[in-house]
């Protein structure tokens, strides 16, 4: 039997710390990501390529710009325009409305 990737163990341990009623929301979010990945022929937030020399992830320009924007917001270089949500369902509804 193949060994389980240690990152999965960490993920499972984190999920176990959540209240029981979050299970449905976790599975809903996983389903949402899988559906988006199927539509766009890949996960929109996943790294597809790695640098052959360093092994560092290679992000597309849109992802790099998003990471820089969040870093700038956290450093108070630009105003924080991020939305906040009260539930996973509310966030997913907002994401779906952007399509």
63-78 pLDDT, tens digit each: 888 888 888 888 888 8
**95 and 55 inside one domain:** yes
**35 and 55 inside one domain:** no
Residue 94, classed as helix, strand or coil, is helix
Q: What confidence score (pLDDT) does residue 1 get?
A: 46
Average pLDDT for residues 39-65, to the nearest whole number? 71
**66 and 91 inside one domain:** yes
**28 and 57 inside one domain:** no
Residues 58 and 50: beta-carbon distance below 8 Å = yes
Handedness of CA 27, 33, 38, 41 (dihedral sign): negative
For residue 93, pLDDT beyond 60 = yes
Residues 42 and 36: beta-carbon distance below 8 Å = no
Residue 28's nearest CA partner among 85, 83, 92 is 92
Q: pTM (2 decimals)?
A: 0.35
**59 and 36 inside one domain:** no
Say which residue, 29 or 44, is predicted with more confidence. 29
Residues 85 and 91: beta-carbon distance below 8 Å = yes
């Amino acid at each position: 039997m193949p060994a389980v990737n240690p990152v999965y163990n960490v993920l499972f341990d984190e999920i176990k710390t959540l209240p029981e009623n979050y299970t449905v929301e976790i599975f809903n979010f996983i389903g949402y990501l899988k559906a988006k990945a199927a539509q766009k022929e890949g996960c929109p937030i996943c790294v597809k390529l790695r640098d052959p020399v360093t092994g560092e992830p290679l992000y597309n320009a849109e992802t790099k710009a998003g990471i820089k924007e969040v870093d700038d917001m956290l450093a108070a270089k630009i105003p924080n325009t991020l939305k906040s949500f009260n539930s996973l369902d509310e966030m997913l509804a907002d994401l779906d409305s952007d399509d």
